[in-house]
Amino acid sequence: MKKIIIMLCVVGLLSVTLFILLKKSDKNDQMLNYNDDYNWASLPTISKDVDVFYVYPTVSRNVTGSMDITNDEERDLVYGIIKSQASVFENYTNVFVPFYRQMSTKVQMSESGLATDTEEFKQGTADVENAFEYYIQNLNDNRPFIIAGHSQGTMALIELIKNRFGDDEVLRNRLVAAYLIGYTVTDSDLSESGLTATQNATDLGVVITYNTQSVTSTGSPMLLAGAHCINPLNWSTDGIYVDSTENRGAVFFNDQTGEFEREVFNYCGAQIDTETGALTTTIPDAKYIDIGPYNEGVYHRYDYAFWYRNLQKNVDDRISAYLCKH
């Protein structure tokens, strides 16, 4: 009888342990259903010949370490950043934006210290890849498309192009361009994806990438060794300084609400630091610009804002070049 009681206790303990593990697994591994419109921040009525699949940067401050996409306050932050950044594409494309359970600002870093090694980042990246696959299979209808992101959104898209584009020439041929802004894209990333870095304003199926900072900045956590960079004022990869007269307009929004704040023509010039791969600039109102938690001169938050009208024009130019070619 005593042996039976012990066995029952062991079985009970194992059952409880298994239940806890399964619940944890459900929380971390359950795929989002992108057939549900609720899981899309933007699901447009089709009116353009080209799509954009846009992935937002870090907006979540959720204490669990992952974004809660059912929380209205967190969802509103996504809507705000869509107006701030994805509006660059909206005149020319159908804008698709999935919600994803991104790594929040409260994440506990892994022992390696790399954000890409955290379970929260991996979960968010899996969401992005699942959303993209659903988009391609069910929403895209064989239209040409752009992929675009910023910061953590770009980090997730780098994993996407490495995992999805490298062995799929048909998919690569439908890619107008990939605007992977605000994080480092390296030769290794490009090699695995089968893509190349852009060299001018109208080449196609290429990656557009840069990280903005001041001339005196010591660098940002987004700018790593081997970073590619294009100058959005002249679409060149050399180190020639381009004057602010070539800046078609910086457009500033409230990133949290998406409310338009101001537009400044000829706001700043730009030059690529060919040693570090940074896009450097000197802005006229540095004292009044809120750069957030970053070191002096790291203008990460303004990677879209400073060059907004030039980016907008370039989207139009690349789409025109693609449609002309095809």
DSSP for 96-156? EEE---PBPTTPPPPTT--GGGSHHHHHHHHHHHHHHHHIIIII-TT--EEEEEETHHHHH
Both tokens of residue 205?
């199926």
Q: What tens-digit pLDDT sequence spans the chain (326 residues)?
A: 444 444 444 344 434 333 333 333 344 458 999 999 999 999 999 999 999 999 999 999 999 999 999 999 999 999 999 999 999 999 999 999 999 999 988 877 666 667 777 899 999 999 999 999 999 999 999 999 999 999 999 999 999 999 999 999 999 999 999 999 999 999 999 999 999 999 999 999 999 999 999 999 998 999 999 999 999 999 999 999 999 999 999 999 999 999 999 999 999 999 999 999 999 999 999 989 999 999 999 999 999 999 999 999 999 999 999 999 99
Q: How distant is the alpha carbon of residue 135 from its chain centre? A: 16
- How high is the pLDDT of residue 113? 61
The DSSP secondary structure of 26-85, one letter per residue, reads: HHHHPPP-TTSGGGEEE-PPP-SS-EEEEE-------TTSB--TT-HHHHHHHHHHHHHT
Contacts of 128 (CB under 8 A, 6+ apart): 55, 98, 100, 153, 156, 157, 159, 160
End-to-end CA gap in the chain? 80
| β-strand pairing of 206-208 with 175-181 | parallel
Report the C-alpha gap between 47 and 273 in whole angstroms: 40
Prediction pTM value: 0.90
Give me the pLDDT at residue 108, please: 72
